[in-house]
Amino acid sequence: MAILAMVVLVGAAIADDAGPPTGGVDAGAVTDAGAVTDAGAVTGAAAATDAGAVTDAGAVTGAAAVTGAATVTGAAVVVSEPHQGAAKDPVQLPAAAHEGKRAVVVIKLVLGFVVLFVVAYVGSHRRVVAAQERLGIGGVIAAGFPFVALGVIVRQPEIGILTEDVVERMRPLLQFGLGWLGFIIGAQLDIRVLDRLPRGTAYLVVVEALAPFAVTAAACGACAVALGLADWRSPEFWRDMILLGAAAAMTAPRRFRGFANRGWREGRGADSLIAQLDEIVGVVGLLFVAAYFRPGGTAGWQIPGTAWLFVTIGLGVVVGVLIFAMVRVPTSSGEFLAVVLGSVALGSGLAGYLYLSPIVVCFVAGALVTNFPCEQRADIFRILNHLERPIHLLFLIVAGAIWNLTSLAAWAIVPAFVLARIVGKWLGVFAASATVGGDLPPGFVDQRVLVSPLSPLSIALVLSLHGAAGGGASDWIVTIVIAGAILTEVAVQFTSPPVPLAATARPAPPGTVVDELDELDEPSGPTYVDGEHDDDDRGVGLPPLAPRPRTRGGGA
């Protein structure tokens, strides 16, 4: 899968690098013409402006007008005399081809393919996978760090592959990816499972998310103000604090296997459950940021921030209902992919068009689809799972590309971010233990760990603001979140995995355990796997749920 993201990069970069020099079209060049696609799409500036021929793809590889001396390939003419005032000439002749550059680009292309192939081969080799497992590189950010590093490297001016311009051109893909992630996270919010959680779980989740949120935001905000990185009176400061807090609040299981494959179910540890539910904090944070911190001076509907909250949720509901209806039509897996792909693109496109968060809109849509009776649920998750990793790796690479490593003040805040998050976590666990600890089944509180990996969504959260809703996130935020995520995962490797004390000290008496989840008519949440067994499924898993006091139907 890694190669998919890399191929995208190489393609974009090479095309950008070799891109027909717009300057290659001399005076009088046709600047509004562009590549013609097979669909006949006439494009703008990025189009081919050199001489050349035409493909069925419609890539006009040449034949741009030229008014000066020019060599033409494809359309093939060389004119030695300059033609001034080309617009009035009956014929415009194509520009000089960049012969030397062609060869360089083709060589780069060939080498790029070879490198990609080697990476793909090595990456998929079972010995490499086994070694990775032995080293404990399971967290997505630690495992994905090479991709962040790749992003940092290829955006360097000397290499010039993932330039700012290329990142900008990849924006639709990023937005789509954000919507995809939002949809996956929403689709795992199975109300039927939540409804059967032990009493106090909601409180536990809220406290465990809000405490790190508040402590981290406060600590980092204070540091940022002290170091002169931000002005507490500006709205952007508060927006960034919400983002930082939300990023800190979200956790991932120690062995993250992807969003589509980590749905909590009976037998899985509380870590999985908390990790799944506390991402809602991030989604809610984005909901507020996109509604109340809208970019200034934009055209369109002028409505209050609160109204945008409802527009966001309403849009998600409409898209969800539409998807719910549409997924009933496809009759083959190809058609199913088309409908799911189109639906997520539509949802994220609508969100982007209105300066809302694609994550939030698609989250609502996903939650709706998964909670309606739907026979196609398993198919939807299969599709979601299929594309998740490439999207994730793409995010990591782009995160590396937009990461400004030179902000020393931001680096200084990174330890504060990590420490504040641990303190916040401790506060949350302490508060939960003191209040609802007695109500929760064994293992729900005493298994909690203070050093847990950041959710991969935290990086997506930062990227989602890069030039989108609410304006771009500040550079220092990007540094704190990415570096903080890596530092946290390093710390995780040096701490012991959570041992469910309750499971060893106070084993649940046989016969007293009732697993209500088994009573569901259909599997709760996504239960398929991608061929790898989640660690939470064995060893460190919690004992089955204790019976929940019945509060309905006159139960005790």
Residues numbered 288-327 forming contacts with other proteins, rule: CB under 8 A: 298-301, 318-319, 322, 325-326
Q: Is residue 416 within the footprint of other proteins (CB under 8 A)? A: no
Q: Is residue 547 within the footprint of other proteins (CB under 8 A)? A: no
Residue with smaller CB distance to other proteins, 4 or 508: 4
Give the Cα-Cα-Cα angle 79, 82, 84 (nearest 5 degrees). 135
Radius of gyration, CA atoms only, the chain: 26
CA distances for 254 relative to 136, 138, 272, 532, 536, angstroms: 9, 7, 9, 15, 9
- Structural tokens at position 537: 């499924």
Residue with smaller CB distance to other proteins, 156 or 298: 298
Q: Quick one: angle between helices 2-18 and 99-124, nearest 10?
A: 170
Q: How many CB atoms lie within 10 A of CB 177?
A: 26
Residue with smaller CB distance to other proteins, 88 or 538: 88
Residue with smaller CB distance to other proteins, 346 or 477: 346
Residues numbered 358-387 forming contacts with other proteins, rule: CB under 8 A: 358, 387
Residues numbered 441-480 forming contacts with other proteins, rule: CB under 8 A: 467-468
Residue with smaller CB distance to other proteins, 175 or 452: 175
Q: Can you tell me which of 24, 52, 470, 525 binds other proteins, judged by CB under 8 A?
A: 52
Give the x-and-dash track for 73-102 against other proteins (CB under 8 A): xxxxxxxxx-x--xxxxxxxxx--x---xx
Q: Can you tell me which of 132, 171, 435, 490 binds other proteins, judged by CB under 8 A?
A: 171
| Distance, CA of 397 to CA of 388 (rounded, Å) | 14
Q: Can you tell me which of 82, 305, 342, 547 binds other proteins, judged by CB under 8 A?
A: 342
DSSP 221-235: HHHHHHTTS--TTSH
CA distances for 319 relative to 183, 325, 344, 404, angstroms: 11, 10, 9, 36
Residue with smaller CB distance to other proteins, 105 or 450: 105
Q: Is residue 118 within the footprint of other proteins (CB under 8 A)? A: no
Question: Nearest to residue 335, comparing CAs of 385, 390, 391, 383?
Answer: 383
Q: Is residue 30 within the footprint of other proteins (CB under 8 A)? A: yes
In the complex, least distance from residue 298 CB atom to other proteins, rounded to whole angstroms: 8
In the complex, least distance from residue 62 CB atom to other proteins, rounded to whole angstroms: 6
- Structural tokens at position 432: 């939960």
- Structural tokens at position 1: 């899968």
Q: Is residue 31 within the footprint of other proteins (CB under 8 A)? A: no
In the complex, least distance from residue 367 CB atom to other proteins, rounded to whole angstroms: 19
Contact (Cβ atoms closer than 8 angstroms) between residue 327 and residue 376: yes
Q: Which stretch binds other proteins (CB under 8 A): 108-116, 198-206, 232-240, 481-489?
A: 108-116
| Distance, CA of 546 to CA of 420 (rounded, Å) | 33
Residue with smaller CB distance to other proteins, 200 or 347: 347
